[in-house]
Structure 1
Amino acid sequence: MTASTTQRTTAKSAKSRIAAVGAIAVAGTLLLTGCGDQTKSDDSTKSGSKAAPLADKLPKEIRDKGVIRVGSDIAYAPVEFKDKSGKAVGIDPDLAKAMGKQLGVKFEFQNGTFDTLVTGLKSNRYDLAMSAMTDTKDRQNGVDSDTGKKVGEGVDFVDYFNAGVSIYTPKGKTQSIKTWDDLCGKKIVVQRGTVSHDLAKSQAKKCPSGKKLGIQSFDDDQQAQTRLRSGGADAGSSDFPVAAYAVKTSGGGKNFQLVGDQVEAAPYGIAVSKDQKQLRDAIKAALDAIIKNGEYDKVIAKWGVEAGAVKSATLNGGK
């Protein structure tokens, strides 16, 4: 998401890349309550069993613990969010569950704000970060996209999905907004540290005198949506799957509508520390395995996001 190395995506231009894909085909309720400290997946397979063919690819310490700790901002439906029981659900938890069967471990999702996930990897709080995080060269290299300066060692990515960014408005109140240029003189809500936030800052610099773009940033996307529903802004922006899910579910589909096309299509990646190459390669092998056996396609179809599916796992494919 932002110009920093802890963003979901980094935006360098706002040209349209792909048309908006079909709306999310699942019904659900976005939870607006606070997230707890962690949520565990409920599926595991014992390491070394025939049902976990890739267990031996994991580092021994992780294999012995039987757990992979996953840092995630669990408030980004439908990619990851909490159901009524407090369990982490969505695209990422479902894919992690399928990979866990291949590796013989549990993927334990631990909640954190998005802009702290990479630092959580560096401090060994998490083994992975899986949170609709866009793979970019700046993140790979540990570069702050705003300043162009080196701020860390960077991370490796196992790419598993493709998504762009969308704008949405209150339903029936588009004010002729279709592109980012149309936002000049308006107010937009975004999640802090995301590509939407970065795009908004970039657009604000382009707006002519007297037509300032007002930017309101929040800790999570649900807070931004709440602000837009209350009439405090003219538009919001999120990664397409999230924007489409909000349009589908908020107020039973009566609160928001998508406007214009997606921009900045790019891969989501599972982030791994540079010094954890064995773990990185094990995750890649597990992702390739579930793509091959069809479990990946089942998850993608369940959440109605087939247009973002990949055919194979890729290492550091972001630009």
Structure 2
Amino acid sequence: MTASTTRRTAAKSRIAAVGAIAVAGTMLLTACGDQTKSGPSGSDTAKATTGASNSPADLLPGEIKSKGVIKVGSDIAYPPVEFKDKSGKTVGIDPDIAAALGKQLGVEFQFENGTFDTLVTGLRSKRYDLAMSAMTDTKERQEGIDPETKKKVGEGVDFIDYFTAGVSIYTKKGDDQGIKTWSDLCGKKIAVQRNTVSHDLAKAESKKCAGGKKIAIEAYDNDLEAQTRLRSGGADAGSSDFPVAAYAVKTSGGGKDFQIVGDQVEAAPYGIAVAKGNDQLTKAVKAAMDAIIKSGEYEKIIAKWGVEAGAVTEAKLNGGS
């Protein structure tokens, strides 16, 4: 969710070479042929003397390796990023990427449902190992800063960026009421998910409205509730991350309920959040993300959900601004 300090927000900064080193090490071993005849290769010697790892799984903390499970906090009501299908199974972009990462790391990613604005707290309390919930990587989140008061409210988190998304406005189909930009919302009512970037943008824009025509903002626990409010005529517009808005337009009412208006704004990276200080886990997940991007598995997942426009070509650490 492109969300505020709690923004479900998406792609930017340093590239880790771990995945590339792992692949290079594998190539060297393959090229060396029968080691019983030629003796240990240079890479084997280096591994023995330096402890260099050959795979993302080697980077995982021992505690997680022994459990075989990574607990993932997620607000599972944000299709197509994460949601429950008709059978109750958790599906979507994030679960598919998590499954691919799990193969690289040799563990199972277990999604646990929680409200979006409590996920970072869940990381701090060690209820979750990761938070993966269309969460936008921002400097405020990295540093634990409240986006409105600009005061430090926590330790912050680290992000492994894996997707890029902006924010879109949508209205009932055939009834845009002249809404094309955020400034057009002055004097109108918008339904959003609480503590998201859409929520923040609505509050910021409302302060700019002239003549007392503020934006009436209705904030809900999840995006599906906001969509229901708009569908019933209780609001003039809704807003969410572009992939989510596009999916709602395509699927709600068989494509007859909503339409996107104007262009998406605030394009930013989604990141997998890790509590500060868990550097080993961060490195392992980043190496696994590098590996699935390199192998092409990431690209297949993104194409499956029709969101190729948000794909990244490299996993970056704390790339949000």
TM-score between the two structures when normalised by the length of structure 1: 0.85
Distance, in Å, in 2 between the alignment partners of 1:268 and 1:128 is 13
Q: Which residue of 2 aligns with 1:121?
A: 123
Q: CA deviation at 1:85?
A: 1.4
- Structure 1 segments (4+ residues) deviating >4 Å: none
Which residue of structure 2 lines up, in the alignment, with residue 22 of structure 1?
A: none
Query: 1:2 deviation in Å?
Result: 4.2
Structure 2 counterpart SS, 1:257: strand
Matched AA of 2:67: K
Instruction: Give the 3-state SS of the residue equivalent to 1:244 in structure 2.
Output: helix
Task: Give the aligned partner of residue 241 of structure 2.
Answer: 239
2:230 and 2:311 map into 1 onto residues whose CA distance is: 30
> Which residue of the partner structure matches residue 8 of structure 1?
8
The secondary structure found in structure 2 opposite 1:98 is helix
Does residue 290 of the first structure (1) align with residue 302 of the second (2)?
A: no
One-letter amino acid matched to 1:83: D
Conserved in 1, the CA contact under 8 Å of 2:193 and 2:199?
A: yes
RMSD after superposition: 1.2
Once residues 77 and 267 of structure 1 are traced to their aligned partners in structure 2, the CA distance between those partners, rounded to angstroms, is: 18
| Matched residue type, 1:8 | R
| Aligned pairs for 1:206-285 within 5 A | 206-285=208-287
1:102 to 101, 104, 111: 104
Alpha-carbon distance in 2 for matches of 1:181, 1:197: 14
Q: Which residue of 2 aligns with 1:78?
A: 80
| Corresponding residue to 2:199 among 194, 197, 202 | 197
Shift of 1:212: 2.1
Q: Which residue in 2 is equivalent to 1:40?
A: none
What is the distance in 1 between the residues matched to 2:65 and 2:289?
Answer: 17
* Residue 53 (structure 1) shift: 4.1
Counterparts of 1:112 and 1:89, CA distance in 2: 15
The structure with the greater share of residues assigned to helix is 2
The equivalent of 1:25 in structure 2 is: none
Residue aligning to 2:135: 133
Give the match for residue 57 of structure 1: 59
1:9 positional shift? 3.5
CA distance in 2, matches of 1:194, 1:54: 32
Q: Is the 8 A contact 2:9 2:271 kept in 1?
A: no
Which of 152, 156, 165 aligns to 2:158? It is 156
Cα distance in 2 for partners of 1:204, 1:217 equals 14
Which residue identity does 1:236 align to in structure 2? G
8 Å CA contact 2:3–2:135 kept in 1: the answer is no
- Aligned residue type for 1:254: K
Q: Is the 8 A contact 2:163 2:312 kept in 1?
A: yes
Counterpart residue identity of residue 133, structure 1 = M
Aligned-partner SS, 2:195: coil
State the match for 2:38 in structure 1. none
Amino acid at match of 2:214: K
For 2:56 and 2:74, the matched residues in 1 are separated by: 24
Note the C-alpha offset of 1:138.
0.5
Gaps in structure 1 of 5+ consecutive residues = 11-51
Shift of 1:299: 0.2
Q: Indicate the SS of the match to 1:246.
A: helix
Aligned-partner Cα distance in 1 for 2:197–2:83:
19
User: Could you list the runs of 5+ residues in structure 2 that have no partner in the other structure?
Assistant: 11-53
3-state SS of 1:145 partner = coil
CA distance in structure 1 between the partners assigned to 2:229 and 2:155 by the alignment: 36
Give the whole-Å Cα distance in 1 for the aligned partners of 2:187 and 2:147: 26
Whole-angstrom distance in 1 between the partners of 2:190 and 2:212: 16
- Asked if structure 1 preserves the Cα contact closer than 8 Å seen for 2:60 and 2:281, the reply is yes
Question: What is the rounded CA distance, in whole Å, between the counterparts of 1:100 and 1:257 in structure 2?
Answer: 36
Q: Per-residue displacement from partner, 1:33-70 (whole Å, max 9, x unpaired)?
A: xxxxxxxxxxxxxxxxxxx9432210000000000000
Partners of 2:9 and 2:303 in 1: CA distance: 24
8 Å Cα contact 2:157-2:274 kept in structure 1: yes
2: CA distance, partners of 1:119 / 1:109 = 16
Per the alignment, residue 38 of structure 1 pairs with: none
AA of the residue aligned to 2:147:
S
